[in-house]
Amino acid sequence: MSTIIPMLSAPEYLGPLVSAFHMGIDQAVFFYASNPRMAVSILAFFIFMIYYLREVVKKPEIIGREGKFKWFVKANCTQLQEKYWPTCWAFGTHAQTALANAIRNTLPDLKYNREIITCPDGGEISLDWYTDRLGNIKGNETPIALFIPGLTGDSQTEYIKSLIPHAQASGYRTVGFNNRGRGGMKLKTPKLYCGAVSDDLRLALQVLRAKYPKAPVVATGVSLGGILLSRYLIEEEANSIVDVAVLISVVWDFEAGCQSMEKYGLNYALNRHLTRALINLVEENKEILQPLKNINYQEVVTAPSMREFDQRFTSKMWGYTSVDDYFKDASNKTKVGAIKIPTLCINAADDMFAPVHALPIKEISESDMVTMVVTQRGGHIGFMEGVLPVLPFYSERLLKQFFDALIRLKDMRKDLR
């Protein structure tokens, strides 16, 4: 005997669902009437979480021509295959930048052995050799990890202190670079540093090569340090002493970066803060800088922005006719193709100094020597993650994987070509 299953008509089938829907609406209205603030808070929370999960949490984009180096990065930096979860309550570019800086700044100072290098003009730069766990470093062929700080940084700057111990733990002999007048050094000549001149970095690398002629050199430049390092790589091409490079939060287009930093609000406030730091550097060394007769120091100390500071001081110190000429020369966006050694770049799409539209994405996509990782968020040297962010952050973890993989290679430069 067959069983007859009664079929519900469309209205009969939807009836229970409609009733449940109306009941849910009634309960929601009742809850809102009873607890309006809590109801609005819960709704806002759900909307926020939907936005966070859809627009903020994403896998990083990996840019570069397919080849040995890009394959090496993807195969060994396994966290690139995972989504980056920026701190949910502080994923904005300014929060990422400021809070990551504050957390890294709690790190204790590192112990260094300083090596002072005298430049041909009498100026001084220095190499700070990290002294912790040196007993694990043996032989003159041990790879060297060199770290180059940003605009107002030195070997004790927070983002350098957060990276050096990781490289040391991976087995590298680690060293921090200090520009003229930084790291507690006195300025010896009326000459500072800028993003368009890599002579001092070149000299430091030559000292490293003379001291350890058989040791591979992995150089990491952060912000301005990355600009200087990329400048050196572009100028030297295949003759670079550096065997592998890492560039973090680099400003590739000075004009675009400056325009971004001149926007009203927090960008401009940060612009003023950095300008004040640069003015302080000039004021601290005013006596030694006095011979620069083409510079009006009263105008320099009243500069309201980085553009004006570079117009009144940097461009004149280095012989440019205008700040526009300096910005054009110092920008490396269109010159990436000249880099001939394996180079990993790490940028955040929301970096206020290097907005995503100003990144050399097209140029790097045509290079088999340069691979760029672009995260959706991260700010400028931020890359903070976790509900309760603790070190190491995303960038430190990524570099640790990269350092670990590199040191296992027999010949870094050759094996990645």
Catalytic residues, which ones? Answer: 223, 351, 380
Residue 308 near residue 337 (C-beta atoms within 8 A): no
Residue 100 near residue 384 (C-beta atoms within 8 A): yes
DSSP 133-191: TGGG--STTSPEEEEE--TT--TTSHHHHTTHHHHHHTT-EEEEEE-TT-TTPPP-SS-
Q: Return d(Cα 392, Cα 376) in angstroms, integer.
A: 19
Phi, psi of 370 (to 5 degrees): -120, 130
Amino acid at 293: K
The percent of the chain in helix, strand and coil, each rounded to the nearest 5, is 50, 15, 40
DSSP 50-95: HHIIIIISBPPEEES-SSHHHHHHHHH-GGGGS-B-B-TTS-SHHH
Q: Return d(Cα 172, Cα 208) in angstroms, integer.
A: 14
Q: Tokens representing 375?
A: 């995260």
Q: Return d(Cα 339, Cα 361) in angstroms, integer.
A: 14
Q: Tokens representing 266?
A: 């927090």
Decide: residue 392, CB within 10 A, 0-12 exposed, 13-18 middle, 19+ buried: middle
What's the gap between Cα 293 and its chain centre? 36
Residue 281 near residue 256 (C-beta atoms within 8 A): no
Q: Return d(Cα 333, Cα 256) in angstroms, integer.
A: 11
* DSSP-assigned letter for residue 335: G
